[in-house]
Each structure stands twice: as C-alpha cells, then as structure tokens.
Amino acid sequence: MRCCHCSSGGYIVFKECRCGFFIYNYFFPIILISYVYFNAAAVASEVHEDRVQLKLNPRLCTLSKDEPRCKALVRISWTSEAKQSLCLKVVNRPDVNHCWKQNSQGNFGIQLAFKNDLTVELRDSRTQSLVASKTISIVREGEYRHRRRHPWDLFQ
Amino acid sequence: MRSYITAISYTIILATCFTTQATSAAENCDPSHDRCIEIGQLNLELAVGLGAKTNPIEDSDPIPLIFVPQISYYGERFFMENLDLGYTLFESVNHSINLIATPDYDRVYFHRNSLQNIFMGNTLKARESTEESLIMDEQPSAHSSRDRNITYLAGLDWTYGLDHFSMQLSYLHEITGEHHGNEFRFATAVPLVQDLWVLSATIGATWKSAEAVDYYYGEKGIYSPSSAVNPFLKLGYETQLNNKWRLKIFGHYERLDNEIVNSPIVSKNEVLSLFIGGIYSF
C-alpha cells in the first residue's frame, strides 16, 4: 500500500487521500478497539486483585432418615490477591463471627450442627459488604418401601 | 351377614397381630431396585398405545386401551394404586400382607364410563362418542333389566416376590352392600427372559361366589348362576427405553366360567386384552 502524508483529518481529506482512507477505515477503529480492550483489562485487573476465593469443606451433608440434623466440623479457607480485612459470618448464626485484619488468606474451623442449608459469608469488616459466599447443602435421603406386586393387574 | 362379621373379625385379629410385630415397610429396600418406591411421592404414569379389551356382554363393543393413566402413592403403610387402597400389615424383602379395598372390575362390561374404565382405558372412545352414544354408554346393557352399581371389595392380600417372579393371593368380600359376595384372586408371574428386557408369563384365576356372579350376570326369574372360576393367562414384554419411557406389550386371555357364559346377556366365553404402547413416567 502506498501511503502519503496527510496534514489534516476530516472526511473530505480522507476522500482525497488514500492514506486518509486507511486511517478512517483501519487506524481509528484499531485505536478505538485497543482503548476499549486495555481499559477493560485494567478494570478487570483491579477486580481480580480484590477477588476472594472461599472454600468450604464439606460442601454437602447427606442425612439418613434417622438423622434430624447435620453435625460436621466445617473448615473454611479463603485466599485473596490483595490484603483485606474480612469477617466470617454464618447466616442465621450470629454466634459465629471471626475476623482477619489485612490478610491475604485465612483458615477457620468450627463444629456446627444444622438442620437446613448453611450459608457462610465473608464480609468486608469496615463496610460489611458481601465479598464471598458459599453454601453447604443438606440432602435428605428419601425413604423407600417395596411396591406392592400385583400380577393379577392387567398393566403390571 | 354372619360370614361377613366372621371375615371382618379375622381381619381385625390378623391386623392386630401383624401390626404389633410388623417390620418397617421402608426397611431393606434398595432405592436402585425397580420395586422400591419413594414414600410420600405421588407417582403418575400414562400408558399410550393401541389396544383393546373384548366385552363378553352381547352386542357390546370392545373397551379401547389407548390412554391409560396409572396413579400410585405410598405412605409408610398406606398405599394407593389406581382405585386400589391398601394398608400394609407386614412387609419383608419378599413377602407382604396387606389389607386392601378394590373395585369389582366386572362392572366395566356394563358401564363404559365406569370409574374402573379410566384405568382400563376408555378415554378415546368417550371423546369420540356422540351425545347419543354417551347417553347409551351411561345406561346398563339393553339386555339387562337392571343397573349394576359401583361395588368395592375389601380383604386380605398376600404377595410374594423375588426379582421378576411374583405371586399374589387375595381374599375379598363385597363391602358396599350390593351383593355381599366374595372373591379369591390368585396370580403368579414367571419371568421367561430376564435381561435388558423382560418377557414374562402370568397365570391366575378369579373365583367369584354365587352372589357376585348373580349380581352381574344373573337375571331375576330367568337365570340364577352359582359360583364361577375364571382362569387367565398373560404374556407380557417390557423394556426400558430411557429414563421416562418404557415399552409395554401384553396379551391377556381370560376364560369365562360356564356359569357366566350361560347367562342370557353373555355372548362370548372369553375376554381377550391386547396392548402395545409406551408408558411415560411423569
């Protein structure tokens, strides 16, 4: 492609100059896309720095028909790329409260008994805003019995 | 009346004995086994296919088997299977003894829109019927001088099962005050091929007391039958197509006792039922 010098921008100039045509059709869009991409990446990077990974163990509690509630040692761990001050809370359990000051990770274990799904939250210690949340689900085993055999019936 | 009281007395004594020693109905039931059913769940199935059941009553059309709903519900001990209601007195892995209440299925031959017919399958016929034919369907047979009401039988039911082999014996007494008759139902199903699909043969018989036979097939002053035994043979094929559908094919042949065949309103000595279709589990 042969390129010429263009001293000014604008539509008319672009019509008269192949270089202007190139700038109008390729250069500006590339610049625009690049700007949007790098700007978005920068924002994403900021978010990523604050992202907290919360892990619970166990994630599931299976109850047999004779067990009214789940009793388990719940191990909670979190990691963050940036140091943060976070507090651990359990929904509907105000007695459970543990905080970390300016840490990038934390571990906590507690013996709990619960009848319904248990939701563990990490909240910012200053603003109380929710940073991460995970739930331990309860699965109750269904009770089964033998179906009546009925060979006399037409459809059995 | 005396036999009725005796039957009820025996039933109550047996019920008391078995209930006090009964094992939990839920014990030893592996959920992966197709004979195990979840307690407290309403189960609905719909058989969709082509089929019919012949009607031995003179000048009567066959009963179509097109859409046949199957409803069941099992509680800890109470259960419902279509129109059958039951209470499990005793249950082990292979045996169960139940108190049951079940309708008398002879009525389906006389009333096309009978409740029993819903689970035998007459829905398409009913929808296709003209107003005139629906009125006719509601009436008893033209050859009969009286109506046959819905009757319920109640009694004891014993079943034995091992994989696809099963045996059933029921003693029933009519409790709706129509004829006070009795019925024995016996059937045993034997798997001929048991693989990814099951081919099974069932043989059985129904014994009906004179009162029961007379209620349906007798004509006052003309014909008064005695007790009857109807043996039957069924061949069935079933295979699971996917988690919702299974294919079902069966042929059921029932030979009617001469006490029924000799009735002036009966023109056939057999009842043949054929069906091919899919059963969908909701």
- For A70-79, how does the pLDDT look when each residue is reduced to its tens digit (9 = 90+)? 888 999 999 9
Q: Say whether pLDDT at A20 is over 80.
A: no
Residues in chain A closer than 8 A to B40 (CB atoms) = 143
Distance CA A123, CA A132 (A): 7
Asked if B277 and B50 count as a contact pair (C-beta separation under 8 A), the reply is yes
Q: Say whether pLDDT at B128 is over 50.
A: no
3 state DSSP class of B137:
helix
Distance CA B82, CA B102 (A): 9
- Rg of chain B on CA atoms, in Å: 19
Distance CA B148, CA B136 (A): 15
What CA–CA distances, in Å, run from B256 to A72, B189, B222? 65, 20, 20
The amino acid that residue B186 corresponds to is: F
Residue with tokens 């939250």: A121
Compare CB distances from B166 to A65, A151, A154 and report the shortest one's residue. A151
Q: Say whether pLDDT at A43 is over 90.
A: no
What CA–CA distances, in Å, run from B116 to A44, A107, A152, B68? 67, 65, 15, 11
ipTM: 0.71
Which one is predicted more confidently, B122 or B259? B259
Maximum mean pLDDT: which of B62-66, B141-145, B253-257:
B253-257
CB contact under 8 A, B81 and A148: yes
Confidence (pLDDT) at B149: 83
Asked if B60 and B265 count as a contact pair (C-beta separation under 8 A), the reply is no
pLDDT (mean) for A18-22: 51
What CA–CA distances, in Å, run from A22 to A10, A25, A44? 13, 5, 32
Distance CA A5, CA A3 (A): 7
Compare CB distances from A146 to B72, B84, B91 and report the shortest one's residue. B91
CB contact under 8 A, A144 and B31: yes
- Residues making up chain A, counted from first to last: 156
Q: Which of residues 40-79 of A touch B (CB under 8 A)?
A: 65
pLDDT digit string, tens, across residues B164-196:
889 999 999 999 998 999 999 999 999 998 888
CB contact under 8 A, B36 and A147: yes
Residues in chain A closer than 8 A to B80 (CB atoms) = none
Q: What is the largest CA-CA distance in chain B?
A: 57
User: Which range among A23-32, A58-67, A147-156, B25-34 shows the weakest confidence by mean pLDDT?
Assistant: A23-32
Q: Say whether pLDDT at B136 is over 60.
A: no
Confidence (pLDDT) at A8: 38
3 state DSSP class of B256:
coil
Mean pLDDT value across chain B: 82
CB contact under 8 A, B36 and A65: no
Asked if B146 and B121 count as a contact pair (C-beta separation under 8 A), the reply is no
The amino acid that residue A128 corresponds to is: Q
B56 prior amide bond cis, ω within 30: no
Residue B219 pLDDT grade (very low, low, confident, very high; cuts 50, 70, 90) = confident
pLDDT (mean) for B28-53: 84
CA closest to B73 among chain A residues? A147
Q: Say whether pLDDT at B33 is over 80.
A: no
3 state DSSP class of B194:
strand
Confidence (pLDDT) at A67: 81
Q: What is the largest CA-CA distance in chain A?
A: 98
Mutate one of A62, A139, A149 to test the B interface: name it (highest B CB count within 10 A).
A149
For residue A136, what are the contacts with CB-CB under 8 A and spacing of at least 6?
A56, A58, A59, A60, A61, A70, A72, A74, A114, A117, A118, A119, A120
